Amino acid sequence: MYSIAFFILLGTQLLVNSELHSLTYIYTAFSRPLGLEGFHEFTAMGLLDNKMIDYFDSDHQQKVPKQDWMQNNLREDYWNKGTESRKSKQQWFKVNINILMERFRQNDSDIHVLQWMVGCKGKMQPDGKLTFIDGMNMYSYDGQDFLSFDHKALVWVAPNAAAVETKWKWDGVQVLKEYTKGYLENECMNWLTSFMDYRKSDSKLTSPPDVYLFAKSTKTDTSVRLTCFATGFYSRDTILQIRRNGIILTAEDGLITTGVLPNEDDTCQRRDSVEILRSDMRTYTCEVIHRATGVYVSKIWDPKVHSPSWGVFIANIVRFTAVALTMAAMLVVFCRRCTIAKPRPDQDPIPDHELEVEDLL
């Protein structure tokens, strides 16, 4: 129950901005085995942009890749060293959860949980490089914040009175604080950059989505609604935008969007539209962009679909020709079939880099 609350918190922190990318490691240890299927006394996992890339648990005792691109880009010695590191962390957690139980005057009649989350966030720049935005190094005990590191002030923060003892001890170790700051701002960012580069080798992620342009009549003969529909992309931070003569349209311009929605095959879709006058002969373009993988698709609406003469022609057909209505219905069915996304196989990759910190005692 405690771990569920912690993961919900994590999910709200990551990728709050389409330009942000994150690398996070989460460790969870219970005071004793739960005896429930799927729950392990100790687990460790890495996440790239909130998607698992490696995993270890106390029952299987091996660090394994959870993405194909991780396995393809990292050598066997990386996984062997990662396994040994995870085993060491498992013992570290076992010792320190017992220390905390004593500090809180708890016994083994109930199950207690200690968690650690460490990682960094970077922002993608126009030149394709990542710059450090924020770092996190925090501990929770029984679902409550216990201790965290302020990398700007170079101090440990103790929101829990029981953690004050640890705060003063760790604040007194200058090399530990400098190492922690350096890891978050440099080493973690280097790994984040490397993992994102590895991820580009996945052809499923880098393949362009299917993009369709539509022009539909509105209730008035003088206007038309332009719609751009993109489907079959994997990253939720994929950008879709409509431009008018090169200027990106927003809600203030009447733009309507569904936002990113899931497909049934683990891909995503998004639909944006804007209503314009048929007499508007400016250039309207739909762009689909995912900077992290270099995906870029651009399509232009044919001005004929919203010209005044074209609008009158379509209106007359809709009013007087039943055959045209039947053909339009068939076209809708055809387009729906076209938007069925292709299935996506499993994928994932990442490396090892963990802080060696002192006991909590």
Angle at 119 between CA 358 and CA 198, to 5 degrees: 125
pLDDT at 36: 81
Q: Is residue 359 part of a domain?
A: no
Q: Is residue 343 part of a domain?
A: no
Query: Are 154 and 224 in the same domain?
Result: no
Query: Are 189 and 211 in the same domain?
Result: no
pLDDT at 344: 32
Number of domains in the chain: 2
How deeply is 206 buried, as exposed, middle or buried, from its count of CB atoms within 10 A (0-12, 13-18, 19+)? middle
291-320 residue pLDDT tens = 777 789 999 998 776 655 444 444 444 443
Q: pTM of the full predicted structure? A: 0.64
Sign of CA dihedral 87, 91, 97, 100: negative
Query: Are 54 and 136 in the same domain?
Result: yes
pLDDT at 187: 95
Query: Are 20 and 160 in the same domain?
Result: yes
What CATH number is attached to the domain comprising 309? 2.60.40.10
Residue that terminates a domain, selected from 184, 199, 214: 199
pLDDT at 307: 59
Q: Are 29 and 94 in contact (CB under 8 A)?
A: yes
Q: In what order do the strands lie in the sheet with 144-150?
A: 64-65, 51-57, 42-48, 20-30, 113-124, 130-141, 144-150, 155-157
Domain hosting 264: range is 205-320
What CATH number is attached to the domain comprising 6? 3.30.500.10
Query: Are 17 and 96 in the same domain?
Result: yes
pLDDT at 290: 83
Q: Which residues of the chain have pLDDT under 50?
A: 1-18, 309-358, 361
The two counts, helices (H) then strands (E), for the chain are: 9, 17
173-232 residue pLDDT tens = 999 999 999 999 999 999 999 998 898 877 676 678 899 999 998 888 899 999 999 998
Query: Are 122 and 249 in the same domain?
Result: no
pLDDT at 360: 55
Residue that terminates a domain, selected from 199, 224, 245: 199
Percent of the chain having pLDDT more than 70? Answer: 78
Q: Is residue 241 part of a domain?
A: yes
Which of 89, 85, 118, 71 shows the shortest CA–CA distance to 29? 89
pLDDT at 200: 80
Residue 210 vs residues 38, 113, 296, 340: alpha-carbon distances, Å = 37, 45, 11, 9
